Structure 1
Amino acid sequence: MLFEQLGLIEPILKALKKEGYTTPTPIQEQSIPVVLKGKDILGLAQTGTGKTAAFAIPMLQLLHQELRNSKGYKHTRGLILTPTRELAIQISESFEAYGRYTGITHEVIYGGVSQHTQTLALRNGTDILIATPGRLLDLMNQGYVHLDHLQMFVLDEADRMLDMGFIHDVKRVIRELPKQKQTLLFSATMPPAIAELAGSLLQQPVRVEVTPVSSTVEKIDQYVYFIEKNQKLTLLVHLLTEKNIKRTLVFTRTKHGADRIAKDLKKAGIGADAIHGNKSQSARQNALTNFKRGKLKVLVATDIAARGIDVDALEHVINFDLPDVPETYVHRIGRTGRAGADGSAFSFCDGREEMSNLRGINKLIGLKIPAVEHPFESKGKEVATPNTSTSGFKRRARA
């Protein structure tokens, strides 16, 4: 199916063509016609499946069809609530791309920066507002944001909202919204608290589900290196310098660890930076922008950034530390192998401390991640070094 077959208006089709998009992803193909009919949606889909366009495109079209005089104050008619600043900015970029010919305006607000620029931008109103929960509540309480005329509401990454402790803020926002509106809720998983929220928020929703958490990894080549903790950095530098890895995300368990790895990589002559919650918003955005533009070879991230980073054509993800929660592994490696592209995920496993983590991951994804040899075996014997292409890996079974 092509976008032209989804009943989209010419301004949006023109924008999609400019972006080079012709074929919708499964979540887009299933969601867009439903949203255009005015129905609520319960969408089970992870970041990387194309879900931003699945709600952005029909929202732009529906609001465009009721476009008011562009002069003067604009009431906010669409609201997207998302958990992280990075994701809010990326959603804003999507609305900019898809809505460039529609005349629909949008603004993005998030915490961690001064609110002055954001309140100035809201002075004349906006058709669509993209926001994180805390900053939205602040500006609502101060009278800068009014949602009385809201027609469409998107709750994105609902389970991430729960994980990050934002669910109470989300409920406070929901209480201020008009009862009559179209609501789209997207979540990668459906824990009881989110299922309960969906039940109270959605009206006869259409359920759209793609790529369950345990199957999203099937298109990604996965490998594990059994390596002692004190040798992980040496192996990382080796992979980045000797292999055909142009750009990669490296995930670590702690903020301190992310900073340390980025610093050590810089000392080794490898362009790297870290992104995590303790960084200022400007520092995080600069690092992400430089990474997207290819100025950095490595971006070292903590788990809080795992589902907020959207980088096109990312071929590799490296788990410097294995996560404690198996689902987190899936979210991490989901940064690669997107939209049908090839992707590879390499994980470093310290056999003394992380074997239980690895067993949990294997159980969740329903396969045993193959181990590959490396030049830093604990016995001190050098072995053949694997290439980064799938065919170059030497697999071996591990108990």
Structure 2
Amino acid sequence: MSFSSLGLTPALLSALRDRSYTDATAVQAAAIPVILQGKDVIAEAQTGSGKTIAFCAPLLQNLVLTAARPRAVQVLILVPTRELAAQVGTTLSSLCKSVAPAAKLAVVFGGVSINPQMLHLRGGADIVIATPGRLLDLIDHNALSLACVTTLVLDEADRLLELGFADELNRIVAMLPAQRQNLLFSATFAPEVESLAARISPQPQRIRIEVTDAGKPDITQRAIRVDAARRTQLLRHLLSTEKWPRVLVFVATKYAAELVAVKLRRAHIAAEPFHGELTQGKREQVLADFKASRLKVVVATDVAARGIDIAQLPVVVNYDLPRSSDDYIHRIGRTGRAGLSGLAYNFVTPESAAHFALIARKQGLRLELESIPGFEASALPVPVSERVPDVNGGVKGKRPSKKDKLRALAAQQAAAAKDDN
């Protein structure tokens, strides 16, 4: 569908064309007219479907700029990560240059000094894109007020709650005017998000874009059986044989991100870790180097699964499997974007085979567990169909205790750490 049929102004249409946005995606076509009418929206659409433009374009059109000083915050956009804040800010800034050059944007997040952000907010702002914690810090410093907010946007609302922002969100919502427009966008909606939506928006317009075969990203998915201690060797082998120009590798912990990146550098592969404990400057540098192909591999925790848009990223590798099927969607959604094809490799160890089977079942995947010659797993997982169901929740004394599970995890990590070649 053409953007011209959605009620956008000629100035916005021209700005979208200048940035190579031609036809509207399904979520954009459904959401833009409703947002222009000032209605509340809860929108669920797959990763890479254009949700950012779906709320940025109509918000700019609805924005009313006045000559009043200081400026009052009219639009508040809350996001879970620094990277997503920067991405939304870049999109809005590029459109503002053509549509509303007088609008003042503020992108604020933690991990950096608060002082420059406070200076930028002197005189107010029209639109604020923020992570919840830093927003509350700025409010506590009297750097801004939410008393005049007319529109609240929660982008990746489920991730906001996963990262433990529930208390912060409740505090922020309590500071907002009762009469406002509420917009919630995400690729997945957990029960916690539904509860949040019910509290802040009693009668929203619900938009759910079903993933059809035609609309699914073109991502070829593979599952490779491998022992935990040989995953790094297998990754190096695939990098050498497949000649991938860039790869985003997902791991479970900061420690694993650092360790795998070190091992790859020892093999003369340009690799860097990416996780939440890096400084903001380092995170920005890693992303810039990756986008410019100065890095071949970025080894990331799930902080990179939301809001990171790497153009033409060919491959995602799940070195460690994600915790849930929702996280799986967001991880592999970093590839196969903007109509391009992509690859998603899953390393399945004997210990993680049952977990992968659960993810595959929830995703409706029928992936054969493959073996790469020379990297066959030493132990075969027990097929799900042959496991004895535990209808009583296990028998006391037979189930692994918490200490047993911790010992097993420590042993697995120790075995992986020995893989230095």
TM value normalised by structure 2? 0.85
Distance 1:218 1:368, change over 3 A: farther
Q: Is the 8 A contact 2:273 2:300 kept in 1?
A: yes
Distance 1:280 1:86, change over 3 A: same
The alpha carbon displacement at 1:345 in A equals 0.3
Aligned to 1:317: 316
Q: What amino acid is the match of 1:78?
A: V
Aligned to 1:27: 27
Q: What amino acid is the match of 1:120?
A: L
Aligned to 1:68: 66
The alpha carbon displacement at 1:75 in A equals 1.2
Q: What amino acid is the match of 2:45?
A: A
| Correspondence list, 1:349-364, <5 A | 349-351=348-350, 353-364=351-362
1:236-257: per-residue Cα shift (whole Å, max 9, x none)?
Answer: 1121122131112100111111
Distance 1:25 1:96, change over 3 A: same
Q: Is the 8 A contact 1:217 1:334 kept in 2?
A: no
Q: What amino acid is the match of 2:86?
A: I
The alpha carbon displacement at 1:190 in A equals 2.8
Distance 1:26 1:216, change over 3 A: closer
Aligned to 1:172: 171
Aligned to 1:152: 151
Distance 1:188 1:290, change over 3 A: same
For structure 2, the 5+ residue unaligned runs are 386-421
Q: Is the 8 A contact 1:147 1:177 kept in 2?
A: yes
1:83 to 74, 80, 85: 80
Aligned to 1:341: 340
3-state secondary structure, aligned to 2:97: coil
The alpha carbon displacement at 1:317 in A equals 0.4
Structure 2 residue 77 is the aligned partner of structure 1 residue 98: no
Give the whole-Å Cα distance in 1 for the aligned partners of 2:235 and 2:178: 52
3-state secondary structure, aligned to 1:208: strand
The range that moved more, 169-178 or 337-346, is 337-346
The range that moved more, 336-345 or 366-375, is 366-375
Structure 2 residue 240 is the aligned partner of structure 1 residue 231: no
Q: Is the 8 A contact 1:228 1:350 kept in 2?
A: yes
The range that moved more, 315-324 or 160-169, is 315-324
Q: What amino acid is the match of 1:87?
A: L
Q: What amino acid is the match of 2:329?
A: V
User: Aligned Cα RMSD in Å?
Assistant: 2.3
What percentage of residue pairs aligned between the two structures are identical?
A: 41
Q: What amino acid is the match of 1:284?
A: R
Q: Is the 8 A contact 1:159 1:189 kept in 2?
A: yes
Give the whole-Å Cα distance in 2 for the aligned partners of 1:39 and 1:289: 37
Distance 1:300 1:85, change over 3 A: same
Give the whole-Å Cα distance in 2 for the aligned partners of 1:211 and 1:99: 31
3-state secondary structure, aligned to 1:331: helix
Aligned to 2:49: 49
Give the whole-Å Cα distance in 2 for the aligned partners of 1:379 and 1:315: 26
The alpha carbon displacement at 1:79 in A equals 0.5
3-state secondary structure, aligned to 2:91: helix
The alpha carbon displacement at 1:216 in A equals 8.3
The alpha carbon displacement at 1:72 in A equals 4.2
3-state secondary structure, aligned to 1:154: strand
3-state secondary structure, aligned to 1:99: helix
Q: Is the 8 A contact 1:214 1:366 kept in 2?
A: no
1:347-377: per-residue Cα shift (whole Å, max 9, x none)?
Answer: 11112x1111111111111122233442323
Give the whole-Å Cα distance in 1 for the aligned partners of 2:253 and 2:299: 10
Give the whole-Å Cα distance in 1 for the aligned partners of 2:20 and 2:307: 23
Aligned to 2:306: 307
Give the whole-Å Cα distance in 1 for the aligned partners of 2:187 and 2:53: 16
Aligned to 1:286: 285
Q: What amino acid is the match of 2:5?
A: Q
Distance 1:112 1:46, change over 3 A: farther
Aligned to 2:413: none
Give the whole-Å Cα distance in 2 for the aligned partners of 1:21 and 1:257: 38
Give the whole-Å Cα distance in 1 for the aligned partners of 2:32 and 2:156: 18
Q: Is the 8 A contact 1:217 1:333 kept in 2?
A: no
| Correspondence list, 1:72-221, <5 A | 72-101=69-98, 102-103=100-101, 104-211=103-210, 219-221=218-220
Q: What amino acid is the match of 2:79?
A: T
| Correspondence list, 1:272-283, <5 A | 272-283=271-282
Q: What amino acid is the match of 1:80?
A: I
Please identify the structure whose Cα radius of gyration is greater: 2
Q: What amino acid is the match of 1:30?
A: A
Distance 1:176 1:214, change over 3 A: farther
Give the whole-Å Cα distance in 1 for the aligned partners of 2:231 and 2:241: 15
Structure 2 residue 365 is the aligned partner of structure 1 residue 367: yes
The range that moved more, 213-222 or 99-108, is 213-222
Distance 1:193 1:367, change over 3 A: closer
1:283-318: per-residue Cα shift (whole Å, max 9, x none)?
Answer: 112111211222211111112321132222212101
Q: Is the 8 A contact 1:291 1:297 kept in 2?
A: yes
Give the whole-Å Cα distance in 2 for the aligned partners of 1:223 and 1:217: 16
Q: What amino acid is the match of 1:51?
A: K
Q: Is the 8 A contact 2:78 2:132 kept in 1?
A: yes
3-state secondary structure, aligned to 1:112: coil
3-state secondary structure, aligned to 1:338: coil
3-state secondary structure, aligned to 2:62: helix
Q: Is the 8 A contact 1:213 1:330 kept in 2?
A: no
3-state secondary structure, aligned to 1:310: coil
Give the whole-Å Cα distance in 2 for the aligned partners of 1:33 and 1:203: 20
Distance 1:247 1:60, change over 3 A: same
Q: What amino acid is the match of 1:119?
A: M
Give the whole-Å Cα distance in 1 for the aligned partners of 2:215 and 2:190: 18
